[in-house]
Amino acid sequence: MNIVQLNPFLRYARMHETYYPQKENSVCYDCRLFYILQGEGTLFAGGQNFNVSKGGLIFLPPKTQYRFRFSNNDAVKIYVLNFDLISEFCAISRSLGTATESSFDPTRVPAYPIPKELSQVLVEKNSLQIQGHIAACVELFLHKISYYKHSASAHLKLALLELLREYHSEKTEYRLVQSVQEFIRNNYQNAELDNSAIAAQFNYHSYHLNRLMKAHTDQTLHEYLTQYRLHMAKNFLTTTTLNVTTIAEKTGFSSYTYFIKLFRERTGISPLQYRKTHKNIGF
């Protein structure tokens, strides 16, 4: 099955206001989509652990073993959708339910090829844009107005496509941030390395890279570069006998005076005092 053939058939859509934990892992017969309106905790699914909280969206393909653990099971609000990715099995109109590991019957799983994009567990932390489509599915199933199943299918398809866009966009951004961090680690000695030079290396505007760095590391581009230079300066202070002027030059600081001032601001002591305090300790 190719993703362009996506035509979901929704069997169940409801908001649950309490979570009842199972003694065993649950196993889904068809696809699951969970959108967390309230509550926080962890999810074990597909052999991985995920932190989940308000605004989180979770997609599980059929046969996935999973288990939620919420910090307060009575303070949970979550949209739950059960569906196939195609309409071939629309004759099975009622929910297939959820099994435990010991009771799971694989012959009950609707058999069709799953597109590779949706063959794994997908978890997004902030999916506010998708909430409207999920809520629409629940409302349609609640009121059952004319053509509600067809309308729900359209909303669900848009939700899944938006999830894929968000998921792959985030992965691409994360890989870019990792590349930027590696570039900084390999070139921090260059005193001319700044936001503009880093952005030029990756053919992005410095504002865009700065936004990505802040989103993924909680540090701006400049903060990450400065922190790494200070980290390496501390390393030189505790593992070499180089004088402070040389260390400032080797770690890319534009001037000795600026290095001393910044070092005092960040550590509360001078570089020489730091060397004495951390002598033979390393980092």
Among 170, 205, 232, the domain boundary falls at 170
Please report the pLDDT score of residue 19 as a whole number. Answer: 85
Residues 25 and 165 in one domain: yes
Residues 201 and 259 in one domain: yes
Please report the pLDDT score of residue 281 as a whole number. Answer: 45
Residues 27 and 161 in one domain: yes
Tens digit of pLDDT at every position of the chain (283 positions): 888 889 999 999 999 998 887 788 999 999 999 999 999 999 999 889 999 999 999 999 999 999 999 999 888 999 999 999 999 999 998 899 899 999 999 999 999 999 999 999 999 887 778 999 999 999 999 999 899 999 999 999 999 998 988 787 777 777 888 889 999 999 999 999 999 999 999 888 999 899 889 888 889 999 999 999 999 999 999 989 999 999 999 999 988 999 999 999 999 999 999 998 876 544 3
- On whether residue 40 sits in a domain, the answer given is yes
Question: Which CATH number does the domain housing residue 243 bear?
Answer: 1.10.10.60
Please report the pLDDT score of residue 282 as a whole number. Answer: 40
Please report the pLDDT score of residue 212 as a whole number. Answer: 87
Helix (H, G, I), strand (E, B) or coil at 154: helix
Question: Which CATH number does the domain housing residue 42 bear?
Answer: 2.60.120.10
Residues 89 and 147 in one domain: yes
pTM over 0.75: no
Q: What is the largest CA-CA distance in the chain?
A: 80
Among 170, 196, 220, the domain boundary falls at 170
Task: Give the count of domains, the chain.
Answer: 2
- On whether residue 147 sits in a domain, the answer given is yes
- On whether residue 183 sits in a domain, the answer given is no
Residues 60 and 23 in one domain: yes
Q: What gap in Å lies between CA 109 and CA 147, rounded to an integer?
A: 26
Torsion, Cα 70 168 228 196, to 10 degrees, reads -140
Among 112, 135, 170, the domain boundary falls at 170
- On whether residue 138 sits in a domain, the answer given is yes
- On whether residue 54 sits in a domain, the answer given is yes
Q: Which of 128, 136, 166, 168 is nearest to 153 (CA)?
A: 136
Helix (H, G, I), strand (E, B) or coil at 33: strand
- On whether residue 253 sits in a domain, the answer given is yes
Q: Which of 28, 30, 31 is nearest to 159 (CA)?
A: 31
- On whether residue 207 sits in a domain, the answer given is yes
Residues 138 and 29 in one domain: yes
Residues 159 and 198 in one domain: no
Q: Which domain holds residue 57?
A: 3-170
Please report the pLDDT score of residue 1 as a whole number. Answer: 80
